[in-house]
Amino acid sequence: MSAFLKRLIPPSLRAGLRQWKKARGIAGLHREWDQASRRLAGPGIAQPARRLLILPSDPAGIVGAVGDDAMITATTQHFVAENPDVAVSVLCQTGAAERIVRDLGFKPVPLPAIDGYCAAIAEILQTGPHDALVALGADDMDGYYSAEFTTKVLIGADIAARMGMRSIVLGFSFNAQAAPELARCFARLSPEVALNVRDPLSLDRLNGFARVRARLVADAAFTLRPGTIDADTEMWIAGEKAARRRVIGLNLHPMLIRPPDPGQIDRLVSEMAEAVVRASAQAPLSWLLLPHDYRDDSGDGDGICLRPLMQRLQAEPGIRCRYFEGRHRAATLKALAGRMDGIVTGRMHLAIAALGMGVPVMCLTYQDKFEGLFRHFDLPADLLLRPEALAEPGRLAMALDSFLNQIDDLAAGIAGRRPGVVALAERNFLPGGSAHQ
């Protein structure tokens, strides 16, 4: 549609046209799915897997969000433990994403377009020949970002299962406003798909949304093995702790504001800076600013908030702070999270990294997916702050003070629940089928 025509068509009509195109695309996928289901055959399950195909939640950026890296790495660690010679391929968009996949040490496989998708994904699985498919799940499975992409993920998982392959959808969240057209997709999934839901609240929502066979797990990233930290950062942390200062990790990102508004983001940064200054006046604290998403160029990266926050903190006398520069893998950030005394984060996978290392968290939420994570550890709901609450002057500062005062008790509770949560996370990799649900 040309720019001239867009100006002529009212916004409400443009929205209707987009919705119509989306519905038409999903309807076409269902027709193909019906046809493909009648003629599927494949190489069957190999134990352990010899060739693994991963369907990421972001086929363009792959690991731009570090949580995706955590899930991909945890998955490959599991399959390599089963078979050190397993070959790993990743479905991705063509172009830059293929280079990212190669840099990770995997083979890129172009993700098929929507037209002819079912036949194309079946051919990829069969000619690999792949014997296992793992889709990341994450926060994509309720259609929050794209119902069409969620449909493609479920179709891929279903086709793999019907071809006799090991088919897994890693633990995912499911929000309260799921796209209604997805109910049909979930209901028609093969029972051999290992459909994993990463918290009890999401499982309740999914069971009320569609007739489906799913099981409760914890996020697969809880199984990620931590890496190592660079010597300079380790020395800084050790020095701050030797001076009897608690080191608090700090994360903030623009996706807390939807749609992003520079004025609101600036106010969010200001509120966080004021909260840090107030907390630092009451106790000996040091602050490590932790980006967990590097997609600054697209407007979603954490640096958009954290860099101006760092500038404000550096201008305040007496504030001890440091910015964790560079781009880092999920395993490194998990190790770093384990060196913190507490973490304030807007990214759920940074919270998972911290909790997996026994570190308390306070979270700024942007989807209703954090509540389920907190249930795993029986954490108090007042440690979850929605963006609208941050508009109240002083609300963030009060919440941060409360969090810091509870840290020791929170850490003790997390330590008691952590082994059970990690055991739940390991269930992600069990095969599907009624015997394993």
Is 222 part of any domain?
Answer: no
Is 224 part of any domain?
Answer: no
Is 350 part of any domain?
Answer: yes
The tens place of each residue's pLDDT in the chain, 437 residues long, gives 444 334 444 554 444 434 444 555 677 777 777 666 655 655 555 678 899 999 999 999 898 789 999 999 999 999 999 999 999 999 999 999 999 999 999 999 999 988 889 999 999 998 888 999 999 988 889 998 889 999 999 999 999 999 999 999 999 999 888 999 999 999 999 999 999 999 999 999 999 999 999 999 999 999 999 999 999 999 999 999 999 999 999 999 888 777 767 788 898 899 999 999 999 999 999 999 999 988 877 777 899 999 999 999 999 999 999 999 999 999 999 999 999 999 999 999 999 999 999 999 999 987 677 888 999 999 999 999 987 777 788 889 999 999 999 999 999 999 999 999 999 999 999 988 754 55
Residues 209 and 235 grouped into a single domain: no
Residues 367 and 395 grouped into a single domain: yes
CATH of residue 367's domain is: 3.40.50.2000
Is 435 part of any domain?
Answer: no
Residues 52 and 129 grouped into a single domain: yes
Residues 235 and 153 grouped into a single domain: no
Residues 258 and 290 grouped into a single domain: yes
Q: What is the pTM of this model?
A: 0.88
Residues 240 and 207 grouped into a single domain: no
Residues 235 and 208 grouped into a single domain: no
Considering its fold, how many domains does the chain have in total?
A: 2
Is 20 part of any domain?
Answer: no
Residues 49 and 146 grouped into a single domain: yes
Residues 192 and 246 grouped into a single domain: no
Residues 194 and 239 grouped into a single domain: no
Residues 186 and 237 grouped into a single domain: no
Taking a C-beta distance cutoff of 8 angstroms, is the pair 97, 110 a contact?
no
CATH of residue 139's domain is: 3.40.50
**Domain extent at residue 90:** 38-216
Closest CA to 347 of 428, 250, 267: 250
Residues 168 and 245 grouped into a single domain: no
Q: Which of 192, 216, 240 is the last residue of a domain?
A: 216
Is 5 part of any domain?
Answer: no
Q: Which of 187, 216, 245 is the last residue of a domain?
A: 216
Is 428 part of any domain?
Answer: no
Is 433 part of any domain?
Answer: no
